Amino acid sequence: MAHHAKKDPPRATADLRLDIEEQSEELASLFQATEDARLMQRPPSGKWSAVEHVDHLAKVNRGYLAALESAVASGRAAGRRGAGPFRGSVIGRFFAASMEPPVKMKVKTLAAMQPDAELAPEPTLAVFQDLQERLLALLREAEGLDLDAIRMASPFMKLLRAPAFSWFVVLTAHNRRHVWLIRQTLTDLDGAKRG
């Protein structure tokens, strides 16, 4: 379910919850259907392995989750009540759209987001899935708050500020990007094996 953020109409938090649930299920199915050795193997290009992509997602999501939890708590304390659907901001929609698959542009990964070495698939996926559950819980908790009025900075790029809703959209787009890249990685490994 690809969302092209520049053309998107306003969206409800229920849409984001559905995205998060689908992404968790898709990755769980992929990992269950694939041997650990293959999940840990980099393709001939030297790009990340499937498990490295998931570790990267966990690092990014953990950083944003902490910032979003704080923003939602501040919004509640300030009485920023409101109901969706929400639009986010122009910069948020642009940033989310740039993340959407199919991936055309390579983005330099900040050091804090680089995957660890020596990753095991099962615990790495478990960390990511736990963060997904926390994102779902936060979206439920944020019901009744105006996520367009609650603004926050990116935890990785402090000068970049956008409504909280935009960051939820960016996270789900970023998840989709890497699920797509994981599928490409596994396809590349299949091609290398045949070649």
Mean per-residue pLDDT of the chain: 90
Domain-embedded: residue 159: yes
Task: Supply the pLDDT for residue 58.
Answer: 97
Task: Supply the pLDDT for residue 102.
Answer: 87
Domain-embedded: residue 117: yes
Global pTM value = 0.90
pLDDT reading at 52 higher than 60 = yes
- Reduced to 3 states, what is the DSSP secondary structure of residue 137? helix
Q: Containing domain of residue 110, as a range?
A: 13-42+58-188
Task: Supply the pLDDT for residue 5.
Answer: 40
- Give per-residue pLDDT as tens, 63-78: 999 999 999 999 999 9
Domain-embedded: residue 3: no
Give the whole-angstrom CA distance, residue 65 versus residue 163: 14
- Give per-residue pLDDT as tens, 65-119: 999 999 999 999 999 999 878 999 999 999 899 999 988 777 788 888 999 988 9
Domain-embedded: residue 173: yes
Cα 33 to Cα 27, 30, 52, 53, 70, distances in angstroms: 10, 5, 17, 17, 37
Task: Supply the pLDDT for residue 193.
Answer: 65
Domain-embedded: residue 5: no
